[in-house]
Amino acid sequence: MKIALVGIGKIAVDQHIPAINDSPDWELAATVSRHGSVDGVDAFTDLGDMLDARPDIRVVSLCLPPVPRFAYAMQALAAGRHVMLEKPPGATLAECHALTAKAQADGLSLYATWHSRQADMVAAAKEWLTDKRLTRLHVTWKEDVRRWHPGQDWIWEPGGLGVFDPGINALSIVTDILPHPIHVTGATLKVPENRQTPIAVNLEFHHPQGAQVTADFDWRQEGDQIWMIEAETEAGTLTLTDGGATLKINGERSGTAAPLGGEYPRLYAQMAQLIADGGIDMDLRPMTLVADAYTLGRRETVAPFHD
């Protein structure tokens, strides 16, 4: 299938373009961007122009920041195109529900991707936890924003999510591997005095079986980056590290992890399957937890951040 990629920024260059080019399902037929393009691929600066000029392109993949994404997604759906959304799928839950209703009404496929769920050991962790009684789960997600989001001011503006931009990756894994739903009961949002979104967050959750579930996200990490989920059960401890690429059960490594580069190829394979099945996948649980954290969160002002 021919696909158009909208937003040729860092994530598109690092992940989306290689995944599309290596896939047997897809042909990158056009790009839409004011600042980037791909050699040998039809380039546009306006989505409407691309939709008019290329009726042969059935699918649009959106890699834009969250705030402008709704308008682009709705425009593509209105033109009868299937839509794939980089995470998070929108700036608000209401936007995502509106997109789902439009796709359902028009018989189109819509996919809210959560790339961290495709990390190599997430499925194995989910299977192991299926019949275990959880007693404690803690997430530690700490990275250096300067390394991963250099000069990207949109992440500090309303709708940019701040540290929840990576933190929602952890939440996407947690909501997938736990057999019971959780919800936020408390949050502390640490916001730099010169920014609009948090640089660090502490979260507490309700678990229906009484397990203690907490998370710490921080964008001020220097040195080794930490992406870890530790789940204690009555049958032992499961630890996911490296963003879900490595799994240990009771201290013993389980399986051989593939590189994280496998996440996006799996997303594009899933999108191809959704279109073949006429399906929609808009799991909004990770985004709901973030929205609830903003609703319940106590805001603390911390030192200014300068890129």
Provide DSSP, 5-47. EE--SHHIIIIIHHHHHT-SS-EEEEEE-SS---TTSEEES-H
C-beta atoms surrounding 266 within 10 Å: 17
132 is catalytic: no
Provide CB contacts within 8 A for 249, sequence distance 6+.
128, 236, 237, 238, 239
> Given 10, 87, 102, 142, which residue is catalytic?
87
Among the listed residues 287, 274, 265, the one whose alpha carbon sits nearest the alpha carbon of residue 82: 274
Could you tell me if residue 170 is left (phi over 0), alpha (psi between -120 and 50 degrees) or otherwise beta?
alpha
* In contact, 123 and 158? CB cutoff 8 Å: no
Q: Just list the catalytic residues.
A: 87
